[in-house]
């Protein structure tokens, strides 16, 4: 049995744990398996840049963050355009697959990477995928690995902001990763005890944010913590068309949405406002124990699909149980936070403001 393996898109914690879960299960359940690791994502498959992995390559990597294979982004919207060397990307990947006589390609990646995986599956390649992203926004699965570790990092940042915010009676905005979805901000905001949580799916009203700050002041609470997703948007901007918003963003002089909100609050809140951005720290470091366990289990399930020749599927978890979902049902879809989500309701019941008008 010959298996190709690659990690695609942004990195995260537990990629190595997931690959280890796949490899160890295959090694333990078949006497003859070869694993070819493509370096730097789909790029390695396009350029035929790989290494034949040894069983020991998958030892000692459970606790390592990042990916031993390296990763890169190969945007799906450019997948049919030649690469920098003029190569046909799709044809290159198919040729590499066939030249190595692979039985299956294992891909660990997020939304965009799954579009490419689905395309390769449609082209006749045997593909099995694992959902990877700190954003937890892959359709068809309740959880993706990397998410729990990123929550821990973002939560620790919010935790450590509390003391300095309280000491100086300041408003602090902690900008959390998440361009399109707010799962990471929502979970870490609740876990870290944020007073206001702003996510892309629920456009915020600046006056509501101010009202929450003033309300806390009247209650004798001299500081406010705002957990803000990097893709959060005001209700004013949300009314604009994509073209209008794009033109407006060009006029901004702020490095990010947190600084834009900070400037507005600084002028109107009567308190000092500071911004903290943990950035790529959220992707790095040692994976959490729960993430290692989840990634290992999802790797075992992926190996099971390979052994049973159930190709064309992504391993997923539904209602707390591992399952599979066809790639065509996953590709091109993003799991958003619904405004009436149970977690949203519970957050507001706690008195946390989502920045929307009552």
Q: 324 by DSSP, 3-state: which?
A: strand
Report d(CA 22, CA 31) in Å as an integer: 15
Report d(CA 166, CA 221) in Å as an integer: 9
Report d(CA 277, CA 71) in Å as an integer: 24
Q: Which residues are catalytic, by number? A: 135
27 CB-contact burial (10 Å; exposed 0-12 / middle 13-18 / buried 19+): middle
Q: What is the largest CA-CA distance in the chain?
A: 71
Quick check: 74 and 39 in contact, CB under 8 A? Answer: no
Report d(CA 326, CA 330) in Å as an integer: 7
Report d(CA 80, CA 78) in Å as an integer: 6
Tokens read off for 46: 């396009």
Report d(CA 28, CA 163) in Å as an integer: 50
Cα 7–Cα 11–Cα 15 angle in degrees, nearest 5? 60
The four Cα atoms 182, 8, 64, 335 give a dihedral, to 10 degrees, of: 20
Tokens read off for 347: 């957050």
Report d(CA 196, CA 204) in Å as an integer: 10
Locate tokens 């705002």: which residue?
226
CA proximity to 203, closest of 176, 239, 233: 233
Quick check: 44 and 50 in contact, CB under 8 A? Answer: yes
């Amino acid at each position: 049995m010959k298996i190709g393996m690659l990690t695609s898109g942004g990195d995260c914690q537990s990629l190595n744990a997931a690959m280890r879960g796949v490899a160890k299960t295959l090694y333990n359940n078949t006497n003859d398996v070869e694993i070819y690791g493509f370096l730097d994502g789909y790029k390695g498959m396009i350029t035929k840049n790989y290494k034949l992995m040894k069983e020991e390559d998958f030892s000692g990597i459970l606790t390592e963050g990042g990916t031993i294979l390296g990763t890169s982004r190969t945007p799906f919207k450019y997948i049919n355009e030649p690469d920098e060397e003029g190569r046909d990307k799709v044809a290159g990947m198919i040729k590499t697959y066939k030249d190595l006589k692979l039985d299956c390609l294992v891909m660990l990646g997020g939304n965009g990477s799954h579009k490419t995986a689905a395309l390769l599956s449609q082209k006749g390649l045997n593909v099995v995928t694992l959902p990877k992203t700190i954003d937890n926004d892959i359709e068809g699965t309740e959880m993706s690995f990397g998410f729990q570790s990123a929550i821990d990092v973002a939560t620790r940042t919010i935790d450590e902001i509390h003391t300095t915010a309280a000491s100086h009676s300041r408003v602090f905005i902690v900008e959390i990763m998440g361009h399109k979805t707010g799962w990471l901000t929502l979970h870490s905001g609740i876990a870290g005890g944020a007073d206001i949580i702003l996510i892309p799916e629920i456009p915020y009203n600046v006056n509501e944010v101010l009202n929450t700050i003033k309300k806390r002041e009247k209650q004798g609470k001299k500081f406010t913590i705002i957990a803000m997703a990097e893709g959060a948007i005001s209700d004013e901007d949300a009314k604009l068309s994509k073209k209008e918003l794009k033109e407006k963003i060009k006029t901004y002089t702020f490095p990010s949405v947190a600084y834009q909100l900070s400037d507005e609050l600084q002028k109107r809140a009567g308190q000092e406002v500071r911004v903290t951005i943990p950035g790529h720290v959220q992707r790095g470091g040692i994976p959490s124990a729960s993430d290692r366990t989840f990634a290992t289990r999802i790797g075992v399930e992926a190996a099971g699909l390979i052994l049973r020749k159930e190709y064309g599927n992504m391993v997923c978890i539904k209602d707390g149980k591992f399952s599979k979902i066809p790639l065509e049902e996953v590709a091109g879809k993003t799991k958003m936070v619904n405004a009436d989500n149970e977690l949203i309701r519970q957050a507001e019941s706690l008195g946390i403001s989502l920045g929307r008008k009552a």
